Amino acid sequence: MRRGAFAAVLLTVVLALAVTAAGWGATGTHGSAQAGTLTFCTDATYPPEEYFQGSKIIGSDVDIGTEVAKRVGMKASFKNTGFDAIIAALLAKKCNAIISGMNDTPARRKQVAFVDYITVGQSIMVKKGNPKHITKLADLSGKSISVEVGTTNKDFLDAQSKLFKKAGKSGIRVVTFPKDTDAAAALKTGKVDAYFGDAPVVAYYIGKDQSFAFGVLAVNPIPVGMALRKGDPLIPKVRKAVAAMYADGTMQKILAKWKMSGTALKK
């Protein structure tokens, strides 16, 4: 899922300053683990990984984060945070960690440390019947595709569009939305030709709405990790907790519950 390159690094620094100026202090229960609560920043617009059910945030990441917190001797809490400012919130100590379907990329690793827990590929979702005949990446040339802003999915589409243009073909019209659910809705209402997102997310949308279908199944698999501030003493504890969850089958049970078994890390 979900930023890379120098521009993203610069934006994160600017946002971190804005977050602090807005009163998100550098100390307190969200910024430290002293109170025994492991607070996760998460963008709850990305089912089945994190989304609202009424006023409660649920999803695979919530179950995973809750179990990780338990295994490090803490209680989990989840703070809904827009994805485009989520690293800034972590750096400003608004939370202890991020769990939000975040891809572990070299650009992000310059800012935060990762503990990987799944690997996720991306899929293209189309309207039922596939009226635009999108069955492979090459079919995206000249098409409009919706995607959540500030994500590696958008970066992938932008890079693919440049390749098309370099080959003398029409590029992709990449249409961004602040919420992933809005990006999916844009396809339903006919504002775009297709939607691009993580494969489990696409499967979730299709399972909930019969007007959607798979266009292209899975491309560009990327590790997904929990992000923490560099040097945080929680890092080795979280890494140990994730390893233990795989060893005793807990992680596999959580992923199966959310129909995400295919995302489990390979041994």
Instruction: Look at residue 129 in the predicted model and tell me its pLDDT.
Output: 97
**Predicted confidence (pLDDT) per residue in 61-103, tens digit:** 999 999 999 999 999 999 999 999 999 999 999 999 999 999 9
Instruction: Look at residue 217 in the predicted model and tell me its pLDDT.
Output: 87
- Indicate the pLDDT class of residue 1, thresholds 50, 70 and 90: low
Distance, CA of 105 to CA of 107 (rounded, Å): 5
Distance, CA of 36 to CA of 46 (rounded, Å): 27
- Indicate the pLDDT class of residue 35, thresholds 50, 70 and 90: low
Instruction: Look at residue 220 in the predicted model and tell me its pLDDT.
Output: 83
Q: What is 121-221's CATH number, 3.40.50.300, 1.10.287.130, 3.40.630.30, 3.40.190.10?
A: 3.40.190.10
State the fold for domain 5-119+224-263. Answer: D-Maltodextrin-Binding Protein; domain 2 (3.40.190)
Q: Six-digit token pair at 82? A: 């827009």
Q: How far is C-alpha 34 from the geometric centre of its chain's CA atoms?
A: 27
**Predicted confidence (pLDDT) per residue in 117-127, tens digit:** 999 999 999 99
- DSSP for 75-142? EEEEEE--GGGHHHHHHTTS-SEE-SS-B--HHHHTT-EEEEEEEEEEEEEEETT-TT---SGGGGTT
Instruction: Look at residue 218 in the predicted model and tell me its pLDDT.
Output: 82
Answer whether residue 232 shows pLDDT above 60.
yes
**Predicted confidence (pLDDT) per residue in 125-137, tens digit:** 999 999 999 999 9
- Indicate the pLDDT class of residue 24, thresholds 50, 70 and 90: very low
Is the model more confident about 23 or about 208?
208
How many CB atoms neighbour CB 235 within 10 A? Answer: 17
Domain boundaries, the chain: 5-119+224-263, 121-221
Q: Six-digit token pair at 143? A: 């098409």
Distance, CA of 94 to CA of 89 (rounded, Å): 5
**Predicted confidence (pLDDT) per residue in 191-200, tens digit:** 999 999 999 9
Answer whether residue 140 shows pLDDT above 90.
yes
DSSP letter (8 states) at residue 171? -
pTM: 0.82
Instruction: Tell me what the pLDDT averaged over the chain comes to.
Output: 89
Q: Six-digit token pair at 15? A: 């946002």
User: Do 226 and 97 meet the contact criterion of CB atoms below 8 Å apart?
Assistant: yes
- Indicate the pLDDT class of residue 2, thresholds 50, 70 and 90: low
Domains 5-119+224-263 and 121-221 share a fold: yes
- Which residues, 6 or more positions from 123, have their beta carbon under 8 angstroms from its beta carbon? 196, 197, 198, 199, 202, 203, 214, 215, 216, 217, 218, 219
